[in-house]
Amino acid sequence: MAIISFWSNIKRETGQTLSSVAIATSMAIDHNYKILEVATGFQDKVIENCFWEPDKVSTAGLIPGMQQSTFNSGVEGLVKIVQSNRTSSNIVADYARVVFRDRLDILPAPVTDNIEDYNRTTEYYAQLLNVANRDYNLVFVDIDKGMSEESKKAILQQSDVIVLTLKQGLDCLKEIVELRKNTSFFENNNIILLAGKYDKFSRYNVTNMSRELKEKRKMIAVPYNTLFFEASSEGTVADFFIKYRTITDQTDRNYIFMQETKRACDEILFKLQELQIRV
């Protein structure tokens, strides 16, 4: 019932994709929502590789409610459905891959290796998200920097919440200030700032950055975590979250990662409530 887009206008790496994966997975495990994670990159399998070994659906770490998935033709197949006006209830689920049954699905990025075909496909993302929004409580969209400006703008305009990802540092703070001055969508009050690959020991921690940017609430973060980073390339992110979901040792770096990710989930839900969007 709500579209949450992860986006950044910063050219440098911000950890956007893995941040969206971490938050979507945590949300699916800890909250009773049906979630779709949408990948949009050109020849990009980062999100798929977080949950499955390359070219293979992994059965590692299956728990009650988790199942294998039959992968159809993904977003390209959905585009054909949209073009023919034959959309029906739960049609998106037929083209997605299942991580946790009735909790978390993944809609992979386009599989084409032709950039022109990719651009034509991304023109339909806004329509696809409207279809998906009928059947899922939360639709997470990882907006790729390589998409056309028109396609990105269309997704941002229909997003209920925009998670703007950034890196820690003075230069990024300046870029956010300039973005606020020159970009009208900040007036909608549906922006959440997120520090990706976060290092809490930096002088540019979330408390200081939030103060500098005059944020009413402390910005969210997804810390850099070696085990999570490794899991993201081994297809074992689901296993990672299941293993550490109940960790209580506050001296453990995985505890910090899990707590910050859970706080990010809570802040997104708070923003949706603040905007009075029903999920």
pLDDT for res 276: 85
The upper half-sphere exposure of residue 201, i.e. CA atoms within 13 Å in the direction of its Cβ, equals: 2
pLDDT for res 57: 47
Cα distance between residue 79 and residue 58, in whole Å: 27
- The mean pLDDT of the chain is 89
Is 52's pLDDT higher than 90?
Answer: yes
Cα distance between residue 176 and residue 8, in whole Å: 10
Is 63's pLDDT higher than 80?
Answer: no
pTM here?
0.90
- Estimate the crossing angle of helix 74-83 against helix 125-135, to 10 degrees: 90
pLDDT for res 186: 75
Structure tokens at 10: 């910063």
pLDDT for res 250: 93
Q: Which of 4-8, 86-90, 272-276 has the lowest mean pLDDT?
A: 86-90
Cβ-proximal residues to 77 (8 Å cutoff; 6+ apart), any chain: 95
Is 59's pLDDT higher than 70?
Answer: no
Is 68's pLDDT higher than 60?
Answer: no
Is 17's pLDDT higher than 70?
Answer: yes
pLDDT for res 56: 58
Average pLDDT, integer, range 41-48: 94
Is 278's pLDDT higher than 90?
Answer: no
Instruction: Write the single-letter amino acid at 28.
Output: A
**Pick among 3.40.50.300, 1.10.260.40, 3.40.50.12780, 3.40.50.2300: CATH of 2-274:** 3.40.50.300
Is 185's pLDDT higher than 80?
Answer: no
For residues 224 and 198, the answer to whether their CB atoms sit within 8 Å is yes
Sheet containing 104-107, strands listed edge to edge, beginning at the edge strand earlier in sequence: 97-100, 104-107, 35-39, 138-142, 2-7, 161-166, 191-198, 220-223
177 or 240, higher pLDDT: 240
Is 62's pLDDT higher than 70?
Answer: no
Average pLDDT, integer, range 33-40: 97
Cα distance between residue 195 and residue 256, in whole Å: 14
1 or 30, higher pLDDT: 30
pLDDT for res 14: 87
What's the pLDDT tens digit per position in 203-254? 999 999 999 999 989 999 999 999 999 999 999 999 999 999 999 999 998 9
pLDDT for res 65: 41
What's the pLDDT tens digit per position in 99-135? 999 999 999 999 999 999 999 999 999 999 999 999 9
For residues 125 and 57, the answer to whether their CB atoms sit within 8 Å is no
User: Which candidate, 110, 107, 95, 116, places its Cα nearest to that of 42?
Assistant: 110
pLDDT for res 227: 97
